[in-house]
């Protein structure tokens, strides 16, 4: 990427942006009508948290716009420059569906599904990461801050540092980082570790993710590690810089959820949901991407047994399961859909009456307004992930419960369990334990539910996504004091 390379020659073509986010997807969705198309901000806390930093700091976002074989010019949206990176149809198959979602995703989630290792998938991942790094280098101002997001982009920090040593580079991994014994399977483990170490600061969800990573650094690349700091040599025997690995648990846009939870029409909608279900005594809710990491099958098994044992009666309780479509061309996701839909069909066939349905299964995505209405309608929220970086649904449910009622059943394998200690914590593999936790949650006294929810709400309200991004970016700036960026010497 010669044109973007800095040197002491001040005519070098730096870009104009001081703050750049890099992620696989741009934070917008295309809305098409018959003769035109526009862009709409996609739901999710990350873009909300970063929007103020973006508009203040001349921000740009580098990412894929979601369609294959299409090159688009950069454009402005919501006070930021969006820089679309094109992907071919093959790259969608090899880099995105393949290496990102059929190699790294299962590997990083405790190999719940078997990861596949294919050399041509890795080659595509490397090439696409290089393209993202180049696109970023081309728009970054001298000394700019770049924040690279998630497992699809792990080689970008090193590539970017090589091209632009003047930049401050942060990386945040939204998913777990696996234990060494599992990570060791990856044929490209050294490249991935070195790719990440290109960042000045590497953020993880849980302290255990950061320590897993540091163990892998010690074992596979042999740099000096002191506590959370790694001394990285740019070339053998050459100067070193420090890369740090730390936990920064992500959160949600709390204000947005609370504002919606207080809106009259949304409160009314939540009552309507209850009425439409026939006013059951208990509404239980699951909200997940249809992903094998979410433990939806374990949840259904427990619920089926509760119906069979008579601890839950179809006349009294309704379970709503929202399973939003995800990665539908990846084999393991297809298999999962068949399995879950088979189970729902079997359970409903056995326990439904003409009047009552055991499980309302909804294979849709809903706007956030409808999600908040569901949170308000649900007496019990079920989160049974087998492994989850954080699980923001848990935090959204808690934020939405403005009246401090409702019970949260939460897997100890979700990052959210580190802080939401007053949830009914479960091991989803222990079906008897899960059943007992559901019964506890359904029968929890209002006083006990309020006591727990108050503490959890305080936790979530004090730690929203804006605080998360500020904490990370402050740590990135401060950490750089002993890491003079190279352009400063030029
Ligand atoms: C997880 C990942 C994100 C990803 C999202 C949706 O939350 O951490 O990086 O964007 O899933 O998955 P998708 O493959 O549709 O982008």
Write down the residue that tokens 């006294």 correspond to: 445
What pTM did the predictor assign? 0.95
- For residue 373, report the distance from its CA to the centre of ligand 1, in Å: 24
- For residue 330, report the distance from its CA to the centre of ligand 1, in Å: 14
- Which residues make Cβ contacts (< 8 Å) with residue 295, sequence separation at least 6? 384, 385, 386, 411, 428
| CATH top class, domain 254-463 | alpha beta
| Each residue's pLDDT tens digit, 229-250 | 999 998 888 889 999 999 999 9
CA-to-CA separations, 406 to 380, 447, 450, in angstroms, rounded: 6, 10, 8
Q: Active-site residues: which are they?
A: 174, 388
| Each residue's pLDDT tens digit, 349-391 | 999 999 999 999 999 999 999 999 999 999 999 999 999 999 9
Domain layout of the chain by residue ranges: 7-250+467-488, 254-463
pLDDT of 223 over the 60 cut: yes
The number of residues making up the chain comes to 490
In contact, 101 and 113? CB cutoff 8 Å: no
Helices 431-442 and 296-309: angle between axes, nearest 10 degrees: 70
Nearest atom (ligand 1) to Cα of 175: 8
| Each residue's pLDDT tens digit, 38-91 | 999 988 768 877 887 887 888 999 999 999 999 999 999 988 999 999 999 999
Q: Mutate which of 42, 107, 289, 332 to test ligand 1's pocket (most atoms within 8 Å of Cβ)?
A: 289
pLDDT of 124 over the 60 cut: yes
In contact, 459 and 419? CB cutoff 8 Å: yes
Q: Which residue's alpha carbon is nearest to atom 10 within ligand 1? A: 25
d(CA 167, CA 61): 16
- For residue 152, report the distance from its CA to the centre of ligand 1, in Å: 9
Q: Mutate which of 175, 325, 390 to test ligand 1's pocket (most atoms within 8 Å of Cβ)?
A: 175
- For residue 427, report the distance from its CA to the centre of ligand 1, in Å: 24
**Is 408 strand, coil or helix?**
strand
Residue 12: the pLDDT is 57
| CATH top class, domain 7-250+467-488 | alpha beta
Ligand 1 site residues (CB inside 6 A) read: 25, 150, 174-175, 326-327
- For residue 292, report the distance from its CA to the centre of ligand 1, in Å: 13
| Each residue's pLDDT tens digit, 136-155 | 999 999 999 999 999 999 99
Q: Mutate which of 326, 329, 388, 394 to test ligand 1's pocket (most atoms within 8 Å of Cβ)?
A: 326
To the nearest 10°, the Cα dihedral for 48, 54, 56, 59? -170
Nearest atom (ligand 1) to Cα of 23: 9
């Amino acid at each position: 990427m010669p044109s973007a390379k800095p040197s002491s020659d001040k005519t070098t073509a730096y870009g104009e942006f001081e703050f750049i986010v890099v992620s696989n997807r741009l934070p917008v969705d295309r809305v098409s009508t018959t003769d035109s198309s526009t862009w709409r901000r996609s739901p999710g806390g990350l873009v909300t948290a970063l929007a103020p930093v973006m508009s203040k700091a001349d921000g740009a976002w580098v990412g894929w716009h979601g369609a294959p074989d299409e090159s688009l010019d950069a454009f402005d949206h919501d006070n930021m420059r969006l820089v679309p990176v094109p992907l071919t149809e093959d790259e969608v198959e090899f880099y995105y569906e393949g290496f990102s979602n059929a190699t790294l995703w299962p590997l990083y989630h405790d190999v719940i599904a078997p990861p596949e290792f294919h050399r041509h998938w890795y080659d595509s991942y490397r090439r696409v990461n290089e393209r993202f790094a180049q696109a970023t280098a081309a728009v970054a101002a001298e000394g700019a801050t770049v924040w690279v997001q998630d497992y699809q982009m792990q080689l970008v920090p090193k590539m970017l540092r090589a091209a632009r040593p003047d930049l401050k580079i942060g990386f945040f991994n939204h998913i777990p980082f696996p234990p060494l014994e599992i990570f060791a399977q990856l044929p490209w483990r050294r490249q991935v570790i070195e790719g990440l170490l290109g960042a000045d600061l590497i953020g993880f969800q849980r302290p255990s993710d950061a320590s897993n990573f540091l163990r892998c650094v010690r074992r596979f690349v042999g740099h000096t590690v002191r506590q959370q700091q790694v001394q990285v040599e740019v070339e053998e025997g050459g100067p070193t810089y420090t890369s740090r690995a730390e936990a920064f648990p992500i959160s949600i846009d709390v204000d947005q959820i609370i504002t919606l939870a207080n809106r009259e029409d949304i409160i009314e909608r939540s009552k309507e949901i209850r009425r439409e279900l026939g006013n059951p005594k208990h509404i239980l809710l699951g909200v997940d991407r249809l992903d094998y990491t979410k433990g939806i099958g374990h949840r259904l098994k427990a619920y089926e047994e509760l119906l069979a044992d008579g601890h839950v009666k179809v006349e009294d309780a309704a379970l709503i399961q929202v399973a939003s479509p995800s990665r539908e061309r990846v084999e393991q996701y297809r298999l999962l859909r068949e399995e879950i839909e088979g189970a729902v069909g079997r359970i409903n066939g056995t326990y439904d009456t003409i009047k009552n349905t055991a499980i309302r299964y909804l294979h849709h995505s809903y706007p956030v307004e409808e999600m908040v209405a569901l949170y308000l309608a649900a007496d019990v929220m079920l989160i049974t992930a087998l492994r989850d970086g954080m699980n923001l649904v848990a935090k959204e449910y808690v934020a939405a419960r403005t009246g401090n009622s409702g019970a949260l059943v939460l897997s100890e394998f979700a990052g959210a369990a580190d802080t939401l200690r007053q949830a009914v914590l479960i091991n989803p593999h222990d079906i008897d334990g899960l059943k007992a936790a559901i019964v506890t949650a359904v029968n929890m006294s209002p006083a006990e539910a309020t006591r727990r929810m108050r503490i959890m709400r305080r936790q979530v309200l004090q730690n929203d996504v804006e605080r998360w991004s500020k904490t990370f970016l402050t740590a990135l700036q401060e950490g750089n004091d002993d890491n003079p960026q190279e352009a400063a010497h030029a």
